[in-house]
Amino acid sequence: MAARQPLIVGNWKMNGLQASLAEAKALAEKAAAQKPVAELGLCPPATLVAVMAATLKGSPVGVGGQDCHAKASGAHTGDISAEMLKDAGATYVIVGHSERRADHGESDEIVRAKGQAAHRAGLVAIVCVGETLAQRDAGETLKVVSGQVRASLPDDATAANTVVAYEPVWAIGTGRTPTVEQVAEVHAAIRQDLMARFDDGANFRILYGGSVKPDNAKQLMAVADVDGALVGGASLKVSDFWPIIEAKN
């Protein structure tokens, strides 16, 4: 099996002011000193991308956006493009997060276009997929997730430019997590889908996200085909985030 470097990404969502840069700096200093196995990224709100990227330049922590528009520029008030994120110093961009799918009505088709935009700009797209509780209860998890993987990933996806994040909607911000068996089942299915479609499907990183905390990270990160984590709430403070990073050592 191909060696995949683990990836741990913090998603700050709509949290973070200039003062929060101190946490990012502290994380970068800790990572520089302790050299974790995992590649590390932080996705702050758009207002902090450029300043965080400048602050962390040359450090082991990369910076990402939380969303991008499909187009490079134009009359789209309030939106930012993948090119703008790249210009601001970003390496990654999250696309298709369930909060955007829900709050902004983003379809798989839109998410795929955003993934394409990320690749066009030279960013790594972190494409999020995941079922709702109703879908899980109806026994539709694998069907839903496979459908999202198929429709949300652009054809030009490679293991180098794309990461898949499995985030069950019902686990995000709730403190609830799937069992390790449930995580293993979905990650294995995603791996199969990737291998069936892409030559380098075995090399894509597949992250787990949804209520990853210091006390459950070791268990979740040990599951087969879990190549790291997309972490929301627990990424805001180094004291919570660091034990998660260490869990993938």
**List of residues contacting ligand PGA (CB under 6 A):** 11, 167, 172-173, 209-212, 230-234
Nearer to ligand PGA, 2 or 14 (CB): 14
* Close Cβ partners of 111 (under 8 Å, ≥ 6 residues apart): 95, 96, 101, 127, 151, 152
Nearer to ligand PGA, 60 or 232 (CB): 232
Report the C-alpha gap between 240 and 38 in whole angstroms.
16
Nearest distance, CB of residue 210 and ligand PGA, angstroms: 5
DSSP secondary structure code for residue 142 in this structure: H
Nearest distance, CB of residue 142 and ligand PGA, angstroms: 21
Nearest distance, CB of residue 212 and ligand PGA, angstroms: 5
Residue in 7, 17, 12 with CA at minimum distance from that of residue 235: 12
Nearest distance, CB of residue 97 and ligand PGA, angstroms: 6
From the list 23, 39, 131, 167, the catalytic residue is 167
Q: Give me the amino acid identity at 2.
A: A
> What are 210's two structure tokens?
């949804």
Nearest to ligand PGA by Cβ — which residue?
232
Report the C-alpha gap between 165 and 146 in whole angstroms.
12
* H helix intervals, 88-131: 98-103, 108-121
From the list 97, 99, 119, 187, the catalytic residue is 97
Is residue 71 packed enough to be buried (19+ CB in 10 Å), middle (13-18) or exposed (0-12)? middle
Nearer to ligand PGA, 122 or 173 (CB): 173
Report the C-alpha gap between 182 and 141 in whole angstroms.
10
Nearer to ligand PGA, 170 or 198 (CB): 170
Tell me, yes or no, if 97 is annotated catalytic: yes
Tell me, yes or no, if 185 is annotated catalytic: no
User: Which residues are tagged catalytic?
Assistant: 97, 167
